[in-house]
Amino acid sequence: MKIQFYKYQGTGNDFVMIDNRQKVLFKKDTKLIKKLCDRKFGIGADGLILLENPDVKGDDFKMVYFNSDGNESSMCGNGGRCLVAFARFLGVIENEAVFTAIDGPHKATVKDGEVSLQMQNVNEIRKFGNVSFLDTGSPHHIVFTKNVKDLKVKEEGAAIRFSDVYVASGGTNVNFVEAQEDDTFLVRTYERGVEDETLSCGTGVTAVAIAANATGRTTGSTVKLIVPGGELSVSFEKGGDDDYKNIWLTGPAEQVFKGEIEC
């Protein structure tokens, strides 16, 4: 069977995109999805995303996300932004989208080559000294530290991701953060399900921006995140303590190439 695919990347977080409105791909085929994401034996990507017909009235489409280990996973912020760009390329939307992903409904807008994605509200943030933990559609352990550029992210991230604290609940993503200015942070991320450092993590930088505000490390409601793959921004409204809504993740999302693969 030949499958047509498109390759997208958002600040270096890269994805195989498939228009699955005609049900070309069998979702439970973990082995196939893992192979398609393999950087030597397949197309190569951090994840694979299906654009599907909407289940919810009023939606433009549905998002189904798989990590490169082949397993369906929680929300992908950069992937959601790339999916909106893909839907626009296919003519499914113009410059606005409403869709449903595993973590619920999302709105998105496309403007000046950037995609802004509304993320789920946050109302629970656990804080222990320089560590925070919160879920922005995916779980994120955040370490505020120094000299982030010298860290062994894969090693140190895996140790936390597979620690007793998290392993029973399915693990977590791990973000190492260094303040640059009041409203700017450097972030490097170890991603669950990729089991390596990725060049960017959308739900991760969203979690970092909110944790920075919730712990008083930034006073603004728009935060710039510098990741190895580029720059993203996160804006939000703060209600009461640890109560954040109207959260938007903004950044580039580009088509790299398209292809066909026999599988």
Ligand X SMILES: N[C@H](CCC[C@H](N)C(=O)O)C(=O)O
* Minimum distance from residue 29 beta carbon to ligand X (Å): 18
Interaction residues for ligand X, span 130-169 (CB under 6 A): 138
Interaction residues for ligand X, span 63-122 (CB under 6 A): 67, 73-74, 76-79
Region of 24-32, 37-45, 192-200, 230-238 interacting with ligand X (CB under 6 A): 192-200
- In 3D space, the residue among 245, 261, 256, 237 whose CA is nearest the CA of residue 119 turns out to be 245
Q: Please identify, using beta-carbon distances, which residue of 119 and 151 lies nearer to ligand X.
A: 119
Ramachandran category for residue 261: left, alpha or beta (phi over 0 → left; psi -120 to 50 → alpha): beta
Positive or negative: CA dihedral 224, 220, 172, 64: negative
Active site residue 201: yes
- Mapping DSSP to helix (H, G, I), strand (E, B) and coil, where does residue 193 land? coil
Q: Alpha carbon 241 to chain centroid distance?
A: 25
User: Which one of residues 191, 226, 227, 234 is an interface residue with ligand X (CB under 6 A)?
Assistant: 191
Number of residues that bind ligand X (CB under 6 A): 19
Q: Which of 37, 82, 201, 263 is catalytic?
A: 201
Tokens representing residue 58 in the block: 């009023």
Residue 175 touching ligand X (CB under 6 A) = no
> Is 173 marked as binding a ligand?
yes
Q: Please identify, using beta-carbon distances, which residue of 144 and 166 lies nearer to ligand X.
A: 166
Residue 11 touching ligand X (CB under 6 A) = no
Q: From residue 105, how far is each of 80, 120, 151, 153 by CA, in Å? A: 11, 8, 36, 32
- Helix axis angle for 77-90 and 202-214, nearest 10°, is 130
Tokens representing residue 161 in the block: 């991701």
Tokens representing residue 199 in the block: 């060049």
Q: Please identify, using beta-carbon distances, which residue of 9 and 67 lies nearer to ligand X.
A: 67
Residue 252 touching ligand X (CB under 6 A) = no
Tell me whether residue 186 is exposed, middle or buried, using C-beta atoms within 10 angstroms of its C-beta: 0 to 12, 13 to 18, 19 or more: middle
Alpha helices in 66-195 (DSSP H): 77-90, 153-161, 164-167
> Is 71 marked as binding a ligand?
no
- In 3D space, the residue among 61, 76, 46, 57 whose CA is nearest the CA of residue 205 turns out to be 76
Q: Please identify, using beta-carbon distances, which residue of 100 and 138 lies nearer to ligand X.
A: 138
* Minimum distance from residue 137 beta carbon to ligand X (Å): 7
Integer-rounded Cα radius of gyration of the chain: 17
> Is 78 marked as binding a ligand?
yes
Residue 250 touching ligand X (CB under 6 A) = no
> Is 202 marked as binding a ligand?
yes
Residue 119: strand pairing partners:
247
* Minimum distance from residue 103 beta carbon to ligand X (Å): 10
User: Which one of residues 192, 207, 229, 244 is an interface residue with ligand X (CB under 6 A)?
Assistant: 192
Active-site positions read 76, 201
Query: Which stretches of the chain bind ligand X, using CB under 6 A?
Result: 13, 46, 67, 73-74, 76-79, 138, 173, 191-194, 201-204
Which residues belong to the annotated binding site for substrate? 13, 67, 77-78, 173, 191-192, 202-203
